[in-house]
Amino acid sequence: MRAKRETAFEAALLAEQVGYQRLWLPEHHSTGVPSPNPLLLAGVLGSHTTRIRIGTAVTLIRVRDPHLTAEDVASAAFFCGDRLDVGFGRGDVAGSAADALAYLRKGGDATDEAIRTVVSVLDDGRDWIDPLDTPYERWLHGAGTRSAELAGEMGFNYCHALFFNVDVDACTRTLNSYRAAFPNGRTAVAAALVANDDPVIARTDSIRAGIKVNCAGTAEQCAAAVCKLLELTGADEVVITEMSRSADDHLRALKEIFGLVAERLGGRPRSAGPADRAATGGEER
């Protein structure tokens, strides 16, 4: 676990150095993952970076108290400043933690209301909580129409998780539905990649429970996939989750993919990643 956290931390600093626009932090409750509380990590990484945006992908509000979550957002914002992105997800906890955390679980409507409560607390405060005076971006991450609809209703940006459902046509329809509801919103597509010149390693590393890797191949092939997603979906950004098991392969891939995407786009790539390589699957959204 210490090694995974060290790699994730090194990858975050590398992402800023290379030029990525955002760093997204997931929430998972399982052994062997470095990110059970993304807002806590957002504060840590915000204090160690100066340019890159730091976001949660996602804060699992279904199993979190909205008032305490708002306080956590405020704490993270202190260290991130106006670089904080708060990404909510409607998903649930999976695996062995599901039963232990069942007493926290909300239904669908209650989950949606909890998101609204967090925003209300941040905007207006409460008798015992000051309103947040630091600007932040609001995102909803999902893989289905309800999350996109809710993002449009609430005026959030929307990120579609293509590593849960690889149907690009369905993704595009969902994004278009969101755009119709909120034309000024920003859109992103999240894709899982494995970049390795060795096809055996790429294929082996791409076998992950709960995740459908969108491209497993060379860095050039992964960069081409990123650019193709931008073209097909019209998304403003692509969030990449690079899944190489080797820390050295992972760090190398992050640098190579960014550079190759930049070359293909003729300048700064519209790439929002990377997300944490070790923690990208397991929830339903």
- Could you report the per-residue pLDDT of 222-249, keeping only the tens digit for each? 999 999 999 999 999 999 999 999 999 9
pLDDT given for residue 267 in this prediction: 73
pLDDT given for residue 81 in this prediction: 97
pLDDT given for residue 118 in this prediction: 98
259: exposed, middle or buried (C-beta count within 10 Å: 0-12, 13-18, 19+)? middle
pLDDT given for residue 285 in this prediction: 35
Rounded distance between C-alpha atoms, residue 55 and residue 83, angstroms: 8
Residues 6 or more apart whose Cβ sits within 8 Å of residue 96: 30
**Average pLDDT of the residues in 43-69:** 98
Residues 6 or more apart whose Cβ sits within 8 Å of residue 279: 26, 27, 28, 33, 34, 35
- The angle, 0 to 180 degrees and rounded to 10, between the axes of the packed helices 145-154 and 168-181 is 20
pLDDT given for residue 278 in this prediction: 33
Rounded distance between C-alpha atoms, residue 46 and residue 53, angstroms: 8
pLDDT band at 57 (very low <50, low <70, confident <90, very high): very high
Res 282 pLDDT > 60: no
**Average pLDDT of the residues in 97-112:** 96
Q: Which among 281, 277, 279, 280 is positioned nearest to 10, based on CA atoms?
A: 277
CA-CA-CA-CA torsion sign (276, 185, 271, 205): positive
Write the pLDDT tens digit of every residue in 263-272.
999 876 666 6
- In order, the DSSP letters of 169-194 are HHHHHHHHHHHHH-TT--EEEEEEEE
Residue 59's beta-bridge partner residues?
Answer: 88
Residue 170's beta-bridge partner residues?
Answer: none
Mean of per-residue pLDDT scores for the chain: 93
pLDDT band at 283 (very low <50, low <70, confident <90, very high): very low
Res 181 pLDDT > 70: yes
Strand ranges in the chain using DSSP code E only, listed in sequence order: 22-25, 53-56, 59-60, 84-89, 137-142, 157-161, 187-195, 215-217, 237-242
Rounded distance between C-alpha atoms, residue 249 and residue 259, angstroms: 15
Could you tell me how far CA 145 lies from the centroid of its own chain? 18
Q: pTM, whole model, 2 decimals? A: 0.94
Rounded distance between C-alpha atoms, residue 97 and residue 83, angstroms: 31
Rounded distance between C-alpha atoms, residue 266 and residue 260, angstroms: 10
